[in-house]
Amino acid sequence: MEKLAEKFPDDVEVRFNENPLGLQRIAEEDGRERISPPPEDFETTDLDWCDVMFTQNISNWGGPYTMNLIRTAKEKGKFVHYDTDDLLTNLYKGHRLYDVYRDQKLSELTQWFYHHADLVTVTQRKFAERISPFCQNTLAVVRNAVDYDLECWNLTKTPTPKKLCRMGWVGGIHHEEDVKEFRSVAMGVNAKVGHERVHWGFYGRPPLGPEEERDWQQDVWDNYEKYMTRGVHPRHKNFDVFNAMPGNQYGAMFTRFDVAIAPLQYNEFNDSKSEIKVMEAGRYGLPLVASDVGCYSDVIINGETGYLVSRDNPRSEWIKVLTKVSKDKKHREEMGRNLKQITDEAYDINKIVGGRFELYRDLLNLRRQVREHEHQNS
């Protein structure tokens, strides 16, 4: 949205409002928090002002709040755009939020959002096919993109020590089932090439300050490390775990390794994922080795831009591929250059944001024409 306003300043103005309905969080004496209705004099100023009400996923104020927001915007005659990059209507049982979605009926609420929005956007074709039965109006695929103008995507790569290949995995806090697919792979590659010839970097652990207590996210990452490094001998420790970085510094993580890996368990949620890891790795000339899940297959060609591992993640195949790329520096650098050429053209938001503007323009023009026709015939 910021990029739309930047590139089309004469046509687009954006206001951000995390709570346009004005709910209040009230702290109770027992330390708990309750949600209170907006004050009597609260005015929905930004909703009244806008032409397009844009919201993503489920609001931090909850599913019912998101429903009320969409309903209120529709009552005010606004064009409602609901955007999501996760398949929320069919969360897999291993996902940490599965019980929350089931108990709060968030999957059903998401179907309601899809049905009532004027525009629903998702990030890839298979995702669109899965939710199309719930959509009444326009459903569009708008691929993810990265702002390659940001400083963190224009850094100098950290030089690789001679005869070493650095493997990197970057992940958030909801990949517990995915990292299980990688169990003992590092150990197997170490055995094939020698622990001194390969280094494993796992990026994304939430930082822990000196006075902060451990929380469940730290436990998650403890499990990640256990699965990803299973079988690696303590005397031959050739891996490190790195903290997550804020969005405006995120790209810096990709300057520290030579091959990006993305193991994913096959399920509909993961198979609806975008190729975000493609565009992140490609920016820094890294080949991507990934499970053949989601839309990685749209860009990754075996031996040309990286490798796809069969969706059932056979350990032998992971070891074979990663052994090959770790031994052949020329091959992995060539694949990285090929991927960078693709991503610099196809996934730079500065080059493709015009398509988003055209989508809005065309749909708003169509909406106006329909309303004029209805008015003439009334």
Look at residue 113 in the predicted model and tell me its pLDDT: 97
Burial 171-180 (b: 16+ CB within 10 A, else e): bebebbbbbb
Query: pLDDT for 240-266, tens place per residue?
Result: 999 999 988 999 999 999 999 999 999
The pLDDT of residue 30 is above 80: no
Q: What is the CATH number of the domain that holds 237?
A: 3.40.50.2000
Cα of 295 vs its chain's centroid, Å? 13
Give the percent of the chain with pLDDT over 90. 84
> Taking Cα atoms as reference points, which of 265, 254, 264 lies closest to residue 290?
264
Q: What is the CATH number of the domain that holds 53?
A: 3.40.50
268, 218 contact by CB (below 8 A): no
The pLDDT of residue 48 is above 90: yes
pTM of the complete model: 0.92
The pLDDT of residue 178 is above 80: yes
Which pLDDT band, with edges at 50, 70 and 90, does 32 fall under? confident
Q: Tell me phi and psi for residue 82, to 5 degrees.
A: -110, 120
The pLDDT of residue 370 is above 80: yes
Question: Does residue 11 share a domain with residue 61?
Answer: yes
Question: Does residue 282 share a domain with residue 268?
Answer: yes
Question: Does residue 366 share a domain with residue 283?
Answer: no
Question: Does residue 178 share a domain with residue 260?
Answer: yes
Question: Does residue 290 share a domain with residue 372?
Answer: no
> Taking Cα atoms as reference points, which of 42, 51, 44 lies closest to residue 4?
51
Domain count, the chain: 2
Round to whole Å and give the CA distance between 331 and 369: 55
Query: pLDDT for 310-367, tens place per residue?
Result: 999 999 999 999 999 999 999 999 999 999 999 999 999 999 999 999 999 999 999 9
Question: Does residue 162 share a domain with residue 104?
Answer: no
Dihedral angle, C-alpha 147, 341, 280, 191, nearest 10 °:
-170
Q: Tell me phi and psi for residue 201, to 5 degrees.
A: -120, 125
Query: pLDDT for 139-160, tens place per residue?
Result: 999 999 999 999 999 999 999 9
Look at residue 211 in the predicted model and tell me its pLDDT: 67
Span 84-89, mean pLDDT? 92
Question: Does residue 49 share a domain with residue 187?
Answer: no
Look at residue 208 in the predicted model and tell me its pLDDT: 79
Look at residue 225 in the predicted model and tell me its pLDDT: 94
Domain that holds residue 286: 151-346
Question: Does residue 35 share a domain with residue 56?
Answer: yes
Span 210-232, mean pLDDT? 88
Question: Does residue 213 share a domain with residue 303?
Answer: yes
Cα of 266 vs its chain's centroid, Å? 17
Round to whole Å and give the CA distance between 339 and 195: 27
The pLDDT of residue 72 is above 70: yes
Question: Does residue 358 share a domain with residue 342?
Answer: no
| Residue 210 or 245, more confident | 245
Mean pLDDT of the chain: 94
Least confidently predicted of 12-16, 206-210, 298-302, 348-352: 206-210
Question: Does residue 132 share a domain with residue 18?
Answer: yes
Question: Does residue 252 share a domain with residue 168?
Answer: yes
Q: Tell me phi and psi for residue 224, to 5 degrees.
A: -55, -50
